[in-house]
Amino acid sequence: MLLPTPRRRATLLLAVGGGVLTEAGFPGLGWWPLTVLGLALLFVALARDSARWNALVGLVFGLALFVPHVTFVEAAVGLVPWLALATAEAGLVALFAAAWAWARRGEVIWGAARLQIPVFAALWVAVEELRSVWPFGGFPWGRLAFAQADSPLGRWAWAGGVPLVSFLVAAAGAVLALGLVALRRANLGRASGALLGVALIVVSGVFLPLSSAPTDGRLEVGAVQGNVPDRGLDSFSQAREVLRNHVTGTEQLAQRVERPLDVVLWPENSTDIDPRADAEAADLVTRAAQAVGAPILVGTDHYPESGGRLNSALLWDPQTGPGVSYDKLHPTPFAEYIPLRSIARAVSDAVDRVRTDMIPGSAVGALDVEVPRLDRTVTLGVGICFEVAYDDIIRNTVQDGAELIVIPTNNATFGRTDLSVQQLAMSRIRAMEHGRATVQISTVGVSALIDPAGVILERTEHWSAEQMSAALPLRSSLTPATRFGDAVVWAFRGLGVAVVLAGMAGAARVRRSDRALVDA
């Protein structure tokens, strides 16, 4: 039985609805089942054979998804950059939609909807991977997996990382689409079978062996959210005030903890005054470290003699001062450095706020912390702010021995948008993916302590001064996603290219009038 070919106006309406529903699955609404429904509407909307028309449908879907999803860009740098980013991301969804039209033309695929399900899902993931690396290093926001932190599907990150979770969401959406079409045709047998299939895909994650038990002891961790003046982009113009807020928060933490701490975590930009170069800042950080009796992982900047600026996470000992540090490997384009500055300035003069371009670090963020209580060194895996969205950055720290993941972040410039809770969902997925307790610590929130199964143990409110502490489990065993994550990524990339090429070849041998989506 053939799936109906929707009218052009209907496909656009389905695309708008699908994009809106998909975005509603992400934080802050966080209604994760809607991501499956949104992809189902997209699957139906792309039933026409024309690649050019489907590209338009994909663009509409992408705009409906990304315009509301990245509103934090408007809060930070204005209307034009926000719409430019949303349109660029939507353009890559349009590429997916055209590629799907081509892939579906393969002789094996066009005649069997059951095969279309995995091909549709794999191609979606392949384009997610493209968005994650290109252009300017990629922008992974809006990956389906990042809406699944509260879903059983999110647990599949343990097995295959973010790509596998996104694949399962897209596959469930395609199955649901077939079920909705069957239901419309009053074919209750097919409809119930499809809905059962969706349910089985969604609940399958509960059977995965996620564990939060420590394998290498526990680390007594403190985390300080110092808060900053609520002044938007000018929040960090009072750098010493921000530093003092974190010193005060650390002293308050020292008074409330019942057990000695092994390490204290501060957020990104907790001192924009480099304590390695400023005596007053050094004294303040030392005062805080001595008050709590533990080293502090400090977020700061560093200006090397060769030029540029480094975004650093610096370990500061209460007695000896500066120690090992991690410099952010993936600076954010148009925020921390400005590619094509003269062209970007024509779009928004906010680019001139970045006076010194940030340069990338050169080493993986695996930092060793001496822990006398455990009589050994503990390795922390650090990814700064937006780096939580990039698979390889976090995976590499765990492969290099990280027993606990730390995500220092600064959300002050993004106002009261959903950015912080979007990052929190990513941090939870990373915890499940690698089987590591994870700490997201923000200047203004939301900060959280997360166990290795992705469960939030404690969290702060947005725009508040708070402290957290816990004995977090340390783990050294590697999940399948950690071991084989690179292979999973390249498999999806290769499969995406292969199905498109196969479809192009098949189109040359099959008349267009014979090609259609089939539901059998």
DSSP secondary structure code for residue 131 in this structure: H
The C-alpha atoms of residue 488 and residue 479 are separated, in whole angstroms, by 13
Is residue 458 among the annotated active site residues? no
Which two tokens mark 477? 């065993």
In whole angstroms, what is the distance from residue 23 CA to residue 18 CA? 9
Per annotation, catalytic residue among 328, 387, 403, 433: 328
CB proximity list for 261: less than 8 A, separation 6 or greater: 220, 221, 222, 253, 292, 293, 294, 469
Task: Collect all residues with Cβ–Cβ distance below 8 Å to 96 and sequence separation of at least 6.
Answer: 58, 123, 124, 127
Could you give the maximum distance between any two Cα atoms of the chain, in Å? 77
Count CB-CB contacts under 10 A for residue 10: 14
Alpha-carbon radius of gyration of the chain: 24
CA 310 – CA 496 distance, rounded (Å): 36
Counting every residue written for the chain, the total comes to 520
How far apart are alpha carbons 212 and 225 in whole angstroms?
25
Cβ-Cβ contacts under 8 Å for 321 (sequence gap 6 or more): 275, 282, 286
AA identity, residue 41:
L
- Asked if 89 is an active-site residue, the reply is no
Write down the catalytic residue from 23, 128, 336, 385: 385
| Number of separate helices (H) and strands (E) present in the chain | 15, 12
- By the 10 Å C-beta count (0-12 exposed, 13-18 middle, 19+ buried), 152 is classed as middle
Tell me the two tokens of residue 335: 């925020």
* Sheet arrangement for strand 466-473: 321-327, 310-317, 296-302, 263-265, 218-225, 466-473
Torsion of CA 104, 107, 108, 109, to 10 degrees: 10
385 among known catalytic residues: yes
User: Residue 272: what are its φ and ψ, rounded to 5°?
Assistant: -75, 0
Residue among 74, 129, 220, 268 flagged as catalytic? 268
Active site residues: 268, 328, 385
